[in-house]
Structure formats: C-alpha cells, structure tokens
Amino acid sequence: MRPGMSAAGRARVILGDVLSASILAVLVSWIAGCITIDGTLRADGSGTMSLSYAAPPGSSEASQRELLQATGITIKSLTLGEDRKLSATLEVENLAAISKTALFRNVTVSTSPAGDDQILTIKMTGQPKSLKDKTIPGPKIGITLPGTVAEANENATVSGSHVEWNIQLAEWLSRPSWELTARYRPAKPAGDAAGAGDKTAPAPSGASKTEPDAK
C-alpha cells in the first residue's frame, strides 16, 4: 500500500484483494470441474500437458493465459473458441512448476521412489459443494508415464504406460481434497537393454591355457 494512504483507501485495497482472490477461486472451481488434461511425464521430470475446458463467461485469451503463466511453464499454444472452449498446450520444465500457476495453485504433483518403482502423486484441495445431478461428467486426467503402470487408485483406467482418471462432477465436488496415485516401473535406458549375454565373459583367473600339441 502507498505511504500516507487513508484508512478508507486501505480498506478499498484490502477489499479488492479479497474480491480478486474470491473471483479467482470461483474461476478455478468452475474450470476444474470441466477440465480435460492429457499429460506426458519424461524420465527427467519435465513433460508436456494439453488441456481443454469451458472458460467462464467474460473470459478472454489474455485472462486465460494469465492463469497458466508461471516460471518453468512455457505456453506452446492457446486458443479460445467462440463457444468459450479453451485449448492449450504447455511445456513443463519440472513438476513443481505446475503449482506455480494460478489455475493449479491448489494442486501439487510429485514422484517418489518405492523400491524399484516410482509413485506419481497428484494432490488437490478445494471447497466441497453439493450437486444433485450425479450424471454430469467431471474432470478427466490422463498421463503417460516413463514406464509401465502397475496400479492406480480411484478406479483409474490403466493401459501400458498410460493412466486415466474419469470422475463424475458430483463426486469431484463432494470432497475437500483428492489424492490420485499411480505406481509405475521406470523404463530402462536403451543402453541397458543389452544384457551381459551380449558380451564375451572373461576366462576365470585360475584357468589354464591350452598348450599346442607337441610335434
């Protein structure tokens, strides 16, 4: 706030900040309920993410771009159709960058080791709401991982290295938080594919050499 600002001025600024936060929360809630995400996670922790959703009334490409901008995020493409359907493709430098965006500020994505496997964890928080219509589709989240998926929670569909969650909107809104997990076995680098059998085994150190026949 500016030095010397009156009490009324300070109150207006505080009220503006509160309203901005409230409006953003409404926007994020609106978008999260109808979002479709198709992501790819690379072995080095970077990845790509394509997403689409019905933007709130009054949205513009500029306003939606602001929701997705953050350090570590590159917006490769973004379009907003006349029907307010937004489509965007992002390049993600690392998983931590996702939660730096305004749109995914209540989302954390991480991986952790579990023996020879890795666990992908997506945590989301929100404010629960009640919805009578149980048939309305909600968020659809699909990710291709750098290895074969062994299992995933919340009735996810698993196929090879791809996992996908489809959640009804009423169920999505009924919980204050969600935690989606998928366990996968990282693929070995191409150089590791050749086994020891491709190399000639050395002779034991104590083995004797074959002498030529005496003439």
pLDDT, tens digit (0-9, with 9 covering 90-100), for 17-73: 333 343 444 444 445 568 899 999 999 999 999 999 988 888 899 999 999 999 999
Residue 146 has pLDDT above 80, yes or no: yes
* Over residues 97-119, mean pLDDT: 95
- State the amino acid at position 207 in one-letter form: A
* Over residues 144-169, mean pLDDT: 97
Comparing C-alpha atoms, which of 170, 175, 68 is closest to residue 126? 175
* Over residues 113-135, mean pLDDT: 91
Domain residues of the chain, as ranges? Answer: 44-95, 106-189
List all residues 6 or more positions away from 75 whose beta carbon is below 8 Å from its beta carbon.
65, 68, 69, 88, 89, 90
Query: Across-strand partners of 111?
Result: 120
Look up residue 138 and give its DSSP letter: E
How far is the C-alpha of 98 from the C-alpha of 89, rounded, in Å?
A: 13
Distances (CA, A) of 160 to 71, 81, 156, 171, 187: 32, 34, 13, 27, 11
Residue 150 has pLDDT above 90, yes or no: yes
Distance of CA 28 to the CA centre of its chain: 16
Which of 65-69, 73-77, 198-202 shows the highest mean pLDDT? Answer: 73-77
pLDDT at 9: 44
pLDDT at 32: 56
Class of domain 106-189: mainly beta
pLDDT at 33: 61
pLDDT at 189: 77
pLDDT at 143: 97
pLDDT at 31: 58
Residue 4 has pLDDT above 60, yes or no: no
Q: Which two tokens mark 95?
A: 């998983």
- pLDDT category of residue 193 using cuts at 50, 70 and 90: low
Comparing C-alpha atoms, which of 49, 100, 50 is closest to residue 72? 100
- pLDDT category of residue 123 using cuts at 50, 70 and 90: very high
How far is the C-alpha of 113 from the C-alpha of 121, rounded, in Å?
A: 11
Residue 173 has pLDDT above 80, yes or no: yes
* Over residues 171-178, mean pLDDT: 91
How far is the C-alpha of 100 from the C-alpha of 69, rounded, in Å?
A: 8
Residue 131 has pLDDT above 70, yes or no: yes
